[in-house]
Amino acid sequence: MIESTLEILADPVLALILGLVSGAIVGSFLNVCISRIPLSKSIILPSSSCPECGDRVDWFNNIPVFSWLVLRGQASCCDFKLPLRYLAVELFTAILFAFVFFKFGGVGEFALLCTALFFGSVLIVVIGIDFETMTIPDRFSIGGALAGIVFSFCFPSLHGLSSDPILIERLSAVIISVCGLLVSSSSLYWIGATAEKLMSKEALGQGDVKLLGFVGAFCGWQGGIFVIFGGALLGTFLLIPVMIFSKLRRISLTNNKNNQLGWGMEIPFGPFLGLAALIYFLGMQEFVDGWFEGITSNFIFVFSALYSFLH
């Protein structure tokens, strides 16, 4: 059954259509997770209802992407303005799933397909929750890290090992996953601890550190290191222009002049780490791992030559 499904996905057009449709549907569910999990509410019951008046949302007003556009971001039951985040998450998830189905939909890529869908879905929820609440629930960071170890055991090809593995390769994949978890999280921890000493205030939340453990468990230590600096780079490129524009134009993002986006303001780092992780997993992995392999080989060569010279 799996092979027949992957044969269908081998058709690029069908893969894109299936990815867009399933991604939009999953994105609608991810929106529920983003809204309810920080409030400690069930993500199953009750069914979709208006956050303002509590009225149940009819099915025809709950079609992913389409309903938001038809309603023009306005609830049908009251004056509640539907957050743009609803549309953004559904569209982003649809595009992500379409890309994953297109990239990993071929026969023999089932492991990477399943892993990419799970990894991407968790990161979307993390990005959404951290952006709105500046918190990252442990169920996604710690739970995600444990899931990464399990995925590594089940699908060693996630770390470049055989797609038809024997037990020793499964255990090797687990070791790679655990090393990625520890190296990634500890690297970010010490960067944050150093910055805290230099700035005399907290520079990095522990949620970000645990999130890097989740990323490292799936991507290995190379991916974790890339995500740390890639996330910082993304944050710099995206935030500095906004802060400069806000400073010059005195535009408040919250209609409050005392709460402008500016220097020294706390900003969630998780969304940028999440985006960098998606970039690595879906497009940069081969290049980044090759670069680290070259650096490691050069280091070993220099160390060996120095050791031979001294002895």
Do residues 181 and 215 share a domain? yes
pLDDT, tens digit, for every residue of 256-307? Answer: 544 555 555 678 899 999 999 999 999 888 888 888 888 877 777 777 777 7
Q: Which residues contact 21 (CB under 8 A, 6 or more apart)?
A: 94
Do residues 54 and 153 share a domain? no
184 and 227 Cβ atoms separated by less than 8 Å: yes
Q: What is the pLDDT of residue 1?
A: 54
The answer, yes or no, to whether residue 61 has pLDDT greater than 90, is no
Strand partners, 56: 49
pLDDT, tens digit, for every residue of 132-141? Answer: 999 999 999 9
Do residues 104 and 251 share a domain? no
Residue 9 located in a structural domain: yes
99 and 282 Cβ atoms separated by less than 8 Å: yes
Q: pTM of the full predicted structure?
A: 0.88
Residue 129 located in a structural domain: no
pLDDT, tens digit, for every residue of 7-46? Answer: 667 778 888 999 999 999 999 999 999 999 999 988 888 7
Do residues 148 and 70 share a domain? no
Residue 114 located in a structural domain: no
Number of domains in the chain: 2
Do residues 151 and 298 share a domain? yes
Q: What is the pLDDT of residue 173?
A: 93
pLDDT, tens digit, for every residue of 189-204? Answer: 999 888 888 877 777 8
Do residues 300 and 184 share a domain? yes
Among 45-49, 199-203, 229-233, the least confident range: 199-203
Name, of 5-14, 50-59, 95-104, the range with top average pLDDT. Answer: 95-104
**What's the burial of 241, exposed, middle or buried (CB within 10 Å: 0-12/13-18/19+)?**
exposed
Domain that holds residue 189: 134-311
Average pLDDT over residues 196-217: 88
Residue 120 located in a structural domain: no
* Whole-number average pLDDT of the chain: 85
Tokens matching residue 63: 């079609």
Residue 167 located in a structural domain: yes
Do residues 103 and 219 share a domain? no
Do residues 211 and 284 share a domain? yes
Among 79-93, 204-218, 252-266, the least confident range: 252-266
With cut-offs at 50, 70 and 90, classify the pLDDT of residue 253.
Answer: very low
Strand partners, 81: 74
pLDDT above 70 covers what percent of the chain?
A: 87
The answer, yes or no, to whether residue 183 has pLDDT greater than 70, is yes
Average pLDDT over residues 212-226: 95
